[in-house]
């Protein structure tokens, strides 16, 4: 099975003009803040998101996607970072998260696709995008299965997507979303209150700790090229200020 699927990894992107993703701060009808990722997921977008978090410009752990895909590598990397940061992910009515975006969506601790929202996948193909060859060489089929398993998602998601031609898109049905654990119980919780509960402290105390972290020497981590080492550096500083993830 793995041999057959190795030639049918997910498509990184649709061929055509690339439009980089925007990260927009939004507020839902009930007053809950969230981040909207709008557009193509490209190299460097995960780092941009991290910088927005570290700068304090984003005070939310909920992200909505409206994306046609993009870089396979960046989608997987973003999924891992979203899980590390404790994000919830969702797709709003009338919007889509397909191709490489599927991987980023999987990173949510809590995930939800609203009615009339679309989550989909298909085979990988080379195309002319600068990220596709990197994604193809760095992620074998077995590693994609491993990623799905780590995110708590059924391997059937990869099997179905791998059997869907690059010219088509498999949109997961409401039943598949539940059965494959792509949609799991979802509740939007403001960042400050949620983290305070997790650490068993008052929200005001958490806000104080977070402010201290933002004004710490965390900037020295930004100069580290290796993703894992940079993440470890940030985590150690967060831990020292009492706001570990």
* Predicted confidence (pLDDT) per residue in 57-91, tens digit: 666 788 999 999 998 878 989 998 898 888 889 99
Q: Give the separation between CA 211 and CA 97, rounded to whole angstroms.
A: 33
Q: Report the CATH number at residue 74.
A: 3.90.226.10
Domain membership flag for residue 13: no
Q: Given this model, what pLDDT does residue 21 score?
A: 84
Strands of the sheet with 170-171, listed across from one edge: 96-98, 118-121, 170-171
pLDDT digits (tens, 9 = 90+) for 113-169: 988 999 999 876 543 334 444 444 344 677 788 889 888 899 999 999 888 888 899
Domain membership flag for residue 9: no
Question: Is the model's pLDDT at 103 over the cut of 90?
Answer: yes
Domain membership flag for residue 10: no
Specify which residues 25 forms β-bridges with.
35
Domain encompassing residue 125: 22-189
How buried is 27 (Cβ within 10 angstroms: 0-12 exposed, 13-18 middle, 19+ buried)?
Answer: exposed
Domain membership flag for residue 230: no
Q: Given this model, what pLDDT does residue 10 score?
A: 40
Q: Give the separation between CA 116 and CA 75, rounded to whole angstroms.
A: 23
Q: Give the separation between CA 5 and CA 69, rounded to whole angstroms.
A: 20
Domain membership flag for residue 59: yes
- The residues, any chain, with a CB within 8 Å of residue 9's CB and separated by 6 or more, are 72, 123, 124, 135, 136, 139, 141, 144, 162
Computed from CA positions of residues 88, 49, 76, 119, in that sequence, does the dihedral angle turn out positive or negative? positive
pLDDT band at 188 (very low <50, low <70, confident <90, very high): very low
Q: Given this model, what pLDDT does residue 61 score?
A: 82
Q: Given this model, what pLDDT does residue 102 score?
A: 96
Q: Given this model, what pLDDT does residue 241 score?
A: 67
- Which position has the higher pLDDT, 57 or 42? 42
Domain membership flag for residue 125: yes
Q: Give the separation between CA 45 and CA 104, rounded to whole angstroms.
A: 11
Domain membership flag for residue 221: no
- Which position has the higher pLDDT, 11 or 184? 184
Domain membership flag for residue 154: yes
User: In 10 A of CB 173, how many CB atoms?
Assistant: 11
CA 66-69-71 angle, 5° bins: 135
Per the structure, the count of domains in the chain is: 1
- Which position has the higher pLDDT, 194 or 156? 156
């Amino acid at each position: 099975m793995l041999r057959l699927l190795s030639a049918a990894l997910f498509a990184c992107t649709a061929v055509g003009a690339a439009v980089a993703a925007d990260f927009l701060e939004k507020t839902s009808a009930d007053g809950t803040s969230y981040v909207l990722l709008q557009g193509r997921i490209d190299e460097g977008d995960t780092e941009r998101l991290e910088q927005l978090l570290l700068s304090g410009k984003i005070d939310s752990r909920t992200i909505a996607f409206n994306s046609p895909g993009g870089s396979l590598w960046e989608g997987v990397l973003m999924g891992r970072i979203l899980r590390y940061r404790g994000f919830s992910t969702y797709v709003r009515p009338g919007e889509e998260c397909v191709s490489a975006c599927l991987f980023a969506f999987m990173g949510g601790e809590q995930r939800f696709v609203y009615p009339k929202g679309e989550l989909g996948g298909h085979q990988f193909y080379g195309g002319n995008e600068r990220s596709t060859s990197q994604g193809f060489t760095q992620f074998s089929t077995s590693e994609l299965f491993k990623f799905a398993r780590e995110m708590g998602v059924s391997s059937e998601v990869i099997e179905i997507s791998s059997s869907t031609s690059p010219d088509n898109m498999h949109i997961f049905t409401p039943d598949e979303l539940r059965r494959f654990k792509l949609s799991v119980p979802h509740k939007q919780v403001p960042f400050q209150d949620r983290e305070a509960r997790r650490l068993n402290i008052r929200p005001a105390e958490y806000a104080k700790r977070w402010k201290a972290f933002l004004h710490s020497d965390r900037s020295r981590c930004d100069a580290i090229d290796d993703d894992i080492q940079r993440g470890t550096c940030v985590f150690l500083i967060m831990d020292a200020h009492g706001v570990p993830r």
